[in-house]
Amino acid sequence: MVCGMTNTGLAAIAGESRIVTRSAWSRQRDGVSIRDPSRRPMSMRVILATAILSLFATAHAVEAERLPAWLLELPASVGEILIADAEDAALYRFENNGHGIVQLDERYMSIGRNGVGKQRAWDRKTPLGIYFITEELDTSRLHDKYGDAAFVLDYPNAWDRYQKRTGDGIWLHGVDRNDPQRPPLDTDGCLALPNEEIVRIAGDLQPLVTPVIVARELQWAPASDIAVTRAEFRRALARWQTTINEGDVAGYLSLYAADFRQQDMDKNAWSTWRANVFAARGDSGIALRDVLLLADPEEAGLFLSRFTQVMVYDGQEVQTQKRLYWRRNGAQDWQIVTEDHG
Q: Which residues are catalytic?
A: 173, 190
SS3 label, residue 46: helix
The Cα 79–Cα 101 span in angstroms is 10
In sequence order, the 6+-apart residues with CB closer than 8 A to the CB of 160 are 127, 129
CA distance 265 to 240: 20
Beta strands in 56-155 (DSSP E): 66-68, 71-73, 80-85, 90-96, 101-108, 111-112, 129-137, 150-153
Encode 46-71: b = buried (16+ Cβ within 10 Å), e = exposed.
Answer: eeeeeeeeeeeeeebeebbbbbbbbb
Indicate the DSSP class of residue 3.
T
Q: How far is CA 201 from each of CA 68, 133, 194, 214, rounded to the nearest angstrom?
A: 20, 13, 11, 17
DSSP 126: B
- The CA–CA distances, whole Å, from 60 to 5, 78, 163 equal 9, 29, 41
Give the C-alpha separation, 45 to 51, whole Å. Answer: 10
Single-letter amino acid code for the residue at 199: V
